[in-house]
Structure 1
Amino acid sequence: MRHGNLFVISGPSGAGKGTLVARLLQEVPDAWVSRSVTTRAPRGGEVDGVHYQFASDEEFQNLVDHEGLLEWATYAGNRYGTPRATVEEHMAHGEQVVLEIDVQGAFQVRDKMPAAHLVFVEPPSLEVLEERLRGRGTETDEVIAKRMDAAAVELSHKMEYDMRLVNDNLDEATAELVRYVNEQAEEARG
């Protein structure tokens, strides 16, 4: 059995984090993605425990007060966080736990679990990133401008990560991420 590890994947919106994580799950059988706990109400089709762990404000605050979250933040009036117990349980079973969270959350996790492996996914350029965001066809110019501003801030932290991965070629980026996860799992075991 391999040793359980924690991998935190961050990067700007449009860098391809979600696609890389989905491919990682297909390539690494013992990889598991953590589900966030949130105070927001479920949207149509969302199932508690599948898409998110839905919690009341009181339940969420109890987790905060008792160190039950590795990281948490507020977005659009709702709180989101990573449950510590679930992550630790999966790691104890030898799984490679993956969190797909923002830079702020990544540094909160590192403070609580210094052995976490932080991976920053970046686009080949800001121009490519903007093309990807526009190519989605789901956001207004104003939203894209905000995402581009946020990307500049996130990119300024990339050197604080253990691994930086330029997602220029999806197959190569996937192979590089899979190799890194497997190396860490084997190294920890040895």
Structure 2
Amino acid sequence: MTDRRGLLIVLSGPSGVGKGTVRAAIFENNIFNYVYSVSATTRKMRPGEQDGVDYYYVTRSHFEELIRHDKLLEYAEYVGNYYGTPIEKIEENLAKGKDVFLEIEVQGALKVRERMSEGIFIFLAPPNLHELESRIIGRGTDDMAVIYERMQKAREEIEMMKHYDYVVVNDQVSNAVQKVNAIIQSEHLKVDRVVDQIQSQIRDYFQKGNEDL
């Protein structure tokens, strides 16, 4: 179906739940040829991350310039840093029929829902809060005050899962990857996404049949 519009896939969840790990695993093979939308942030780069791959790491002044020129699909400030999604490439790829994959914070996901409600919104949840806390501590990037702040924020964000279409528990990365891919592919099979194509094929068949009579 080459003339279809692509799907906007939004994966989000609380800090430390493993959004980046699951997204990286999905794109390691990327058997469904998703296009990853790289977000912009003002937070510092973590060990192992790459500019332009994990995020576009920009200054606060540069980010605020993007806001002023309406070049972001959404943006949010989280624990003292901005996160946002550049819009131009997203629209370009969707128009080409490519599925665009966003991995963003919960605040940002809800803003995307307001502007592009046709997207597929998947909430990545932790097995439990004790496991989430262990993952955040295991990063070794935050002091205890920040960890406490992140856990308080995580509780609020988990309560927001009711605004999503699907919830995937990230107990094991391979399981989460399989479920996310299954969700996206099943969305492509929904009647309202394929009915126009099937009806067009029927019309073409009978029009050609009339010409041959």
TM-score (norm 1): 0.82
Return the alpha-carbon distance in structure 2 between the equivalents of residues 123 and 151 of structure 1.
10
One-letter code of the match for 1:6? Answer: L
| 1:159-174 superposed matches below 5 A | 159-174=162-177
Post-superposition Cα deviations, 1:34-88, rounded to whole Å, max 9, x if no partner, equal 12245679899965x554175784x755643554321012357664421222111
1:116 aligns with 2:119: yes
* Contact 2:39 2:104 (C-alpha < 8 Å) held by counterparts: no
* Contact 1:37 1:81 (C-alpha < 8 Å) held by counterparts: yes
Which of 95, 99, 105 is matched with 2:108 structurally? 105
1:92 aligns with 2:92: no
User: In 2 relative to 1, CA 85–23 (structure 1 residues): closer, same or farther, beyond 3 Å?
Assistant: same
One-letter code of the match for 2:56? Answer: Y
* Contact 2:5 2:94 (C-alpha < 8 Å) held by counterparts: yes
User: In 2 relative to 1, CA 83–55 (structure 1 residues): closer, same or farther, beyond 3 Å?
Assistant: farther
* Contact 1:130 1:148 (C-alpha < 8 Å) held by counterparts: yes
* Contact 1:70 1:84 (C-alpha < 8 Å) held by counterparts: yes
Structure 1 residue 121, shift from structure 2 partner: 0.5
Return the alpha-carbon distance in structure 1 between the equivalents of residues 44 and 32 of structure 2.
32
The number of residues matched between the two structures is: 188
Return the alpha-carbon distance in structure 1 between the equivalents of residues 93 and 63 of structure 2.
21
* Contact 1:33 1:97 (C-alpha < 8 Å) held by counterparts: yes
Which structure is richer in relative contact order (CA contacts within 8 A, separation 6 or more)?
A: 1
* Contact 1:72 1:81 (C-alpha < 8 Å) held by counterparts: yes
Which of 121, 129, 132 is matched with 1:129 structurally? 132
- Select the structure of larger CA radius of gyration: 2
Structure 1 residue 6, shift from structure 2 partner: 0.7
| 1:78-89 superposed matches below 5 A | 79-89=82-92
Which of 144, 147, 150 is matched with 1:144 structurally? 147
Which of 48, 52, 56 is matched with 2:56 structurally? 52
User: In 2 relative to 1, CA 74–183 (structure 1 residues): closer, same or farther, beyond 3 Å?
Assistant: same
Post-superposition Cα deviations, 1:128-154, rounded to whole Å, max 9, x if no partner, equal 111222233333222221111111010
Which of 22, 42, 49 is matched with 1:20 structurally? 22
Post-superposition Cα deviations, 1:1-58, rounded to whole Å, max 9, x if no partner, equal 46411111111122111111112222443212212245679899965x554175784x
CA RMSD of aligned residues (A): 2.9
Return the alpha-carbon distance in structure 1 between the equivalents of residues 36 and 172 of structure 2.
23
User: In 2 relative to 1, CA 158–78 (structure 1 residues): closer, same or farther, beyond 3 Å?
Assistant: closer
Return the alpha-carbon distance in structure 2 between the equivalents of residues 163 and 80 of structure 1.
23
One-letter code of the match for 1:18? Answer: G
Identity among equivalent positions (%) equals 40
TM-score (norm 2): 0.74
